[in-house]
Amino acid sequence: MANPAKFLEGTAFGALNNILSEMHSEDGYALPNRFEVIITPPPKMGAIAITNPFHGSERAADARAISLRCETINMPGRNLNTLTDSNIYGPTREIVDGVTYAEDISMTFQASSGLQERVFFEEWQKQAFDETTWNIGYYNDYVSVVDIYLLDKQDNRRFGLRLWEAFPKTIGATELSHASNNEIIKIPVSFSFRYWDTLDLERTSPSLGTKIFETVINSVERNITRNVPRVLNRL
C-alpha cells in the first residue's frame, strides 16, 4: 500500500463551517442585481427638452432618471497583452507588452412611454456629428464618464469603477409586436470607452495635481535644508 502524500498543512482550510461562516459574514457574496449606474452626459449637451407632439408639453430628460432605468449592464474587464520571451534557457515565459480594456459596454434601459431614454442618447450622439453637414465634432465634446457601483443588501457601495471617455456608440433596434401584451420596451445601448479606473479612494492613484504639489513641497524642503548651516542641522 502506497504511503499517503505529506504536505506542510494537512487540514483543508475550506471546511464547510468556514464556508458557511464566510457566507453569513458582513462581506457575504456579491449579488448581480445590486448595482447602481450614474451616467454623466457631456458638458456641452446641457438639458434636453423633449416635446410631446400630441400634447405640446415638454419634459426635461434628467440624466439621473435615465440612470435609474438601467436594467442590465456588464462590468468591463481588463486584459494584459503578452508576447513570448524565448530568449531564455528552459521553458519560455509570457511577458507583458501592453494593456487593453474590454470592448463596448452593453446596457439595457426600461423605456418610458415617450421613449425619453432613446431621445436622450440620440441627442448625445448628435454631439459627435452635424446632421446638416455631416461633419464630425470634436472628441472632447461628446465623451464623458459613466460610474458603476456594486451594492450590498444595505445599499452600501462596496465596489466601484469609472469609465473614462465614454459615449453611446450604438442605440440598438427595438422590436415591436402585437403579441407582447405584458412586456415593456427595452432600449439596448452600447457604450464605447477608452479605459476604466477604480473609484475606491484607498486604491486611487495620486492625481497629477497631487504629484506636482508633492514635488513642489519636496523641492522647497530641500532648498531650505540646503541653506541651513550644518551646525544647525546637527542640533
Rounded-to-integer distance, Cα 199 and Cα 41, Å: 18
- Could you tell me the fold of the domain covering 26-200? Pnp Oxidase; Chain A (2.30.110)
Q: How far is CA 26 from CA 13, 78, 145, 159, 198, in A?
A: 20, 28, 31, 14, 22
Q: Which of 172, 165, 184 is nearest to 118 (CA)?
A: 172
Count of residues in the chain:
235
Mean pLDDT, rounded, for 122-150: 95
- Three cell numbers at 96? 507583458
Write out pLDDT tens, residues 58-111. Answer: 444 589 999 999 999 999 999 999 999 988 888 899 999 999 997 899 999 999
pLDDT band, residue 234 (cuts 50/70/90): very low
Amino acid identity, position 81: N
List Cβ neighbours of 47 (8 Å cut-off, separation of 6 or more).
60, 61
For the chain, the domains span: 26-200, 205-235
What's the maximum distance between 2 C-alpha atoms anywhere in the chain? 92
Mean per-residue pLDDT over the chain, rounded: 81
